[in-house]
Each structure stands twice: as structure tokens, then as C-alpha cells.
């Protein structure tokens, strides 16, 4: 997939670029409003990561131009402003999602993947990974033809892993994804372990190989 990262903060831009590029995607970057505008007008992307506060303009204006020209690109706003008004403004203008800084790269990846999935597959809501088939509408997971019952959190976690396959996903990122960052789960990482244990058990009982690896006590990695 082809992604445009519009972000003025160099450190963040580089990290995002690196995280997404490794996956075999094509990433382009823009560090200010002017560059962003020219790229948006010239090329099409599967997803545009859009920072609202740019040194020479507002990301909202970039979004307006995308929508005025009916460019089909998915747009994910990454903003430091965690206000509902901004969020609503962005979504009303046609952004697909809104992520507040600071975020985990794995969370960003999961969101971008979801946007692209929605854009690309249209009506089809099947996610297939090897022998695992996930129906995104009915939230059903099948291995081969055999349906597996996952709890809500286990299902969310599986999708999260699939979006970040091959990457080490930190426990913090998992906790924030499952419980939201409003809830402080710092002392409660044990649940992540038990959730993951359950997912592994269920998948392996259905005949999958062990996809989930623990990574140095910091997190987990979903490998092919």
C-alpha cells in the first residue's frame, strides 16, 4: 500500500516511515503544508496520515482540498489536540479516523490497515490470513471451516496482531488498544498474558501453528 505521511515533527515522521516501510509499503513524507498540498494534488495514496498543526498551514485545509477534489484517499488525522470539537470537525470533513498523539505505532498501523481494508475491499469484509478467515461484519473467526469462539477482547487482539504481523507489539500498546488510554492498566499486564495464552490455545487447538511469540518480555510478535 501507498502511504503519505504529513507530519512536521521529524522524529515522529521518521519512525512512522520506518515502521510502515519495513512492511513493504511505499511511504512518502511531507514536512509542511506546501509539500503536502503538492503531493496530494499529484499522487493518489491508499492512506494519508495527516497532522493538523503544520508550520505553514492547517492540516484541516489539506483535508478540505482532498474532499473538494473527491480524491479517494483514506485520511487518518494524527493530532495533539484531544478535543471532541476537533475530532468531530475532522470526521465531519471526511477524515476516516482520528488518532491522538502520542500513540503507539502499532495502534497507528492497526487504524491505517482498517481504513485501507474498508477502502479496498468495499463490500467484502473477509480478512484472510493463511488458514484463518475473519468475517469483519459478524466478527466470526474460522480456522479452515471450523469456527472458533473468541471473546470480544481476544477478537480485537487478534485483529491487532494481524495488522501488525511481523512486528513486536509492546504490552503497553496492547493494553491501551484493549482498554483505551483512559484506563491505567500499568499494574495489570497479566491480563494481556492470559488473553494471549487463550488466543494461542484456541488457534492451536483448531490446528494452526503457534503464530504468537513472546518478545523479550516486552511484548508479543505475530509471525507468519
Only one of the segments 4-12, 26-34, 55-63, 130-138 lies at the binding site for other proteins (rule: CB under 8 A); that segment is 4-12
91 binds other proteins, rule: CB under 8 A? no
Minimum distance from residue 194 beta carbon to other proteins (Å): 7
Nearer to other proteins, 21 or 130 (CB): 21
58 binds other proteins, rule: CB under 8 A? no
Closest CA to 202 of 151, 134, 167, 130: 151
Among 71, 103, 129, 155, binds other proteins (CB under 8 A): 103
Only one of the segments 37-45, 98-106, 130-138, 204-212 lies at the binding site for other proteins (rule: CB under 8 A); that segment is 98-106
Sites for other proteins among residues 156-215 (CB under 8 A): 167-168, 170-173, 176, 179, 181-184, 186-188, 190-191, 194-195, 215
Among 26, 80, 128, 223, binds other proteins (CB under 8 A): 80
Q: Which residue has the cell 479517494?
A: 72
101 binds other proteins, rule: CB under 8 A? yes
Nearer to other proteins, 134 or 173 (CB): 173
Among 21, 38, 41, 83, binds other proteins (CB under 8 A): 83
DSSP string, the chain: -EEEEE-S-HHHHHHHHHHHHTTT-EEEEE-SHHHHHHHHHH---SEEEEESEETTEEHHHHHHHHHHTT---EEEEEES---HHHHHHHHHTT-SEEEESS--HHHHHHHHHHHHHHHHHTT--EEEETTEEEETTTTEEEETTEEE---HHHHHHHHHHHHTTTSEEEHHHHHHHHH-TTS--TT-THHHHHHHHHHHHHHHHTT----EEEETTTEEEE--
Which spans of this chain sit near other proteins (rule: CB under 8 A)?
A: 9, 11-12, 15-16, 18-19, 22, 80-84, 101-106, 153, 167-168, 170-173, 176, 179, 181-184, 186-188, 190-191, 194-195, 215-219
Amino acid at each position: 500500500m501507498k502511504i503519505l505521511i504529513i507530519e512536521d515533527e521529524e522524529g515522529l515522521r521518521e519512525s512512522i516511515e520506518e515502521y510502515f516501510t519495513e512492511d513493504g509499503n511505499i511511504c512518502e513524507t511531507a514536512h509542511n503544508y506546501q509539500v503536502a498540498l503538492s503531493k496530494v494534488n499529484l499522487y493518489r495514496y491508499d492512506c494519508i496520515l495527516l497532522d493538523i498543526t503544520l508550520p505553514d498551514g492547517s492540516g484541516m485545509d489539506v483535508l478540505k482540498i482532498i474532499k473538494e477534489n473527491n480524491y479517494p484517499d483514506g485520511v487518518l488525522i494524527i493530532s495533539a489536540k484531544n478535543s471532541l470539537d476537533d475530532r468531530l470537525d475532522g470526521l465531519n470533513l471526511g477524515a476516516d479516523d482520528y488518532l491522538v498523539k502520542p500513540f503507539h505505532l502499532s495502534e497507528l498501523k492497526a487504524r491505517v490497515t482498517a481504513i485501507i481494508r474498508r477502502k479496498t475491499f468495499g463490500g467484502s469484509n473477509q480478512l484472510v490470513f493463511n488458514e484463518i478467515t475473519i468475517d469483519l461484519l459478524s466478527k466470526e473467526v474460522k480456522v479452515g471451516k471450523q469456527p472458533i469462539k473468541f471473546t470480544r477482547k481476544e477478537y480485537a487482539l487478534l485483529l491487532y496482531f494481524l495488522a501488525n504481523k511481523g512486528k513486536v507489539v509492546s504490552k503497553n500498546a496492547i493494553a491501551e488498544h484493549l482498554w483505551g488510554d483512559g484506563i491505567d492498566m500499568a499494574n495489570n499486564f497479566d491480563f494481556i498474558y492470559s488473553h494471549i495464552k487463550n488466543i494461542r490455545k484456541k488457534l492451536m487447538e483448531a490446528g494452526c501453528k503457534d503464530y504468537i511469540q513472546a518478545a523479550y518480555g516486552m511484548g508479543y510478535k505475530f509471525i507468519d
